[in-house]
Amino acid sequence: MYDHLNHVQQQFKQREINIELQGFKTVTTQPGVLQYHIEAYNEYLLLTNSRVLPIGTRILSDTNSVEISSGQRRTEGLEEFSGLVSIELPQGTNYFPIIEFIQIVKE
């Protein structure tokens, strides 16, 4: 059974990154606002609920960027972002989800 938290712990150990704090961060989106910015300097944000995001949502950061497609809306789509993270919902969407991340603060 795929376990997000277990996967994160294992992968960061493989990458020799020590974790100072593991937590959660959410971004609540709302009608009328399509762009959101979060600061994730010296930390990592791992997207856990890509499958509920509207297709065409773009998440751009200093280290990784994705555009949500049907192929990305799967449980294993645990994309990682760091630095300044920008979230852009697609024009014309009428669905405004809560976007959930696992937050990893490194040593």
Please provide the DSSP assignment of 37-77 as one string: EEEEEEEEEEE--GGGSPTT-EEE-SS-EEE--GGG-STT-
Which residue type occupies 27?
V
Q: Per rule CB under 8 A, is residue 17 in the interface with another protein?
A: yes
* Binding piece for another protein, criterion CB under 8 A, among 20-28, 31-39, 54-62, 92-100: 54-62
Which token pair is 58? Answer: 């773009």
Cβ closer to another protein: 58 or 73? 58
Q: Per rule CB under 8 A, is residue 67 in the interface with another protein?
A: yes
Q: Per rule CB under 8 A, is residue 21 in the interface with another protein?
A: no
The 72-91 contact track toward another protein, x by CB under 8 A, reads ----------x---------
Q: Per rule CB under 8 A, is residue 62 in the interface with another protein?
A: yes
Question: Are the beta carbons of 40 and 83 closer than 8 angstroms?
Answer: yes
Query: CA torsion 45→49→51→57, rounded to 10°?
Result: -50
Cβ closer to another protein: 31 or 92? 92
Q: Per rule CB under 8 A, is residue 58 in the interface with another protein?
A: yes
**What SS3 state is found at 6?**
helix
Contact footprint for another protein (CB under 8 A): 14-17, 58, 60, 62-67, 82
